[in-house]
Structure 1
Amino acid sequence: MAVDVLASHKPTFRVNGEDKPSEDVKDRFRKLNMFHIIYVMESLSSMASQVRNIRAVMITAMYNAPVTMDNYYTTKVNHGMKTA
């Protein structure tokens, strides 16, 4: 998925239902590391609903990963501490 985005010549990508400039999306994708990918895969595996457009979901999830990952793991840790 990341290769498709980074190699694309499209002027925009649809992220979160909005058209974002291609260079902004590519910049965000270049910042991804293995921890972001693991986070996206964990998040997708816990989704309860059926995904119709996996490409759109993956682009959105990967685009948002650098800004949402810390909150996700902090919430998981805090939740785990309350139940322990």
Structure 2
Amino acid sequence: MGTSEVMNKHLRGVEIDTSEVPNKGLQEVPKAVPLYNKTYMSDNNQSNMKSNHIKSDDDRIRCDQKVQEINAYADLVKENIDFDVLLQTYSREQDLVEEIYQLILETVQTEKDMIRIAGEYYPSGFVKGKLLKLNYSHIEYVLECMSKNTTKVRNIKQYLLATLFNAPSTIGSYYKAEVNHDMPQYAN
């Protein structure tokens, strides 16, 4: 069998539009040539195709509830840490104050079961509880720790998260050590 006989055998029944195919040489494909096979389109039953672009009322309600939850947490965190006062007090550190606020908000919004802090995994409820109890003093403590840190921090997000998580547990000891250093006569 020759090449043209093989082509004819395999292409029987296939509709091919050859009106714009040149006889010799390479040519550009004209813009009028369709990019799909006509037989495919005629056999395709488009009534069975479904669109994913329409959202149901349940999706909209869940989305609205999620937005309300985020806004409620945002307001709660801002109130707990006196966000506006922090921005005024630490006007030179406004970016860092904003980053800390965003990190707290992001962490309390996570849907993960466990959260990694300082190489350890903790239940997300426990982490969220500690972060939601942070107040102005804790953020002030974290800002002070950040300003005194001279070591290279490879993952600033994890460092900040660990500092925030540990702030309620370490703030008292930190200030006691500072007083002992500055005023040894009062050290017990």
Same fold, judged at TM 0.5 (above): yes
Higher relative CO (Cα under 8 Å, sequence separation at least 6) belongs to: 1
Task: Write out aligned runs for 1:1-84 (5 A).
Answer: 1-82=103-184
Unaligned runs of 5+ in 2: 1-102
Q: Distance in 1 between matches of 2:169 and 2:151?
A: 23
**Partners in 2 of 1:29 and 1:7 — Cα distance?**
11
Give the number of aligned pairs: 83
Q: Name the residue aligned to 2:38.
A: none
Higher radius of gyration, 1 or 2: 2
Q: CA deviation at 1:12?
A: 1.2
1:74 Cα deviation after fit: 0.7
Q: TM-score, normalised by structure 1?
A: 0.92
Alpha-carbon RMSD across the aligned residues, in angstroms, is: 1.2
Query: How many percent of aligned residue pairs carry the same amino acid?
Result: 37
Q: CA–CA distance in 2 between the matches of 1:7 and 1:67? A: 22
CA deviation map 1:12-60 (0-9, x unaligned): 1111211111011001001100100010111111111111111100111
Unaligned runs of 5+ in 1: none
Whole-Å Cα distance in 1 between the matches of residues 118 and 134 of structure 2?
18
Work out the CA distance in 2 between the residues paired with 1:32 and 1:17: 21
The structure 1 segments of at least 4 consecutive aligned residues displaced by more than 4 Å after TM superposition are none
Alpha-carbon distance between aligned partners in 1 of 2:116 and 2:147, rounded to the nearest angstrom: 22
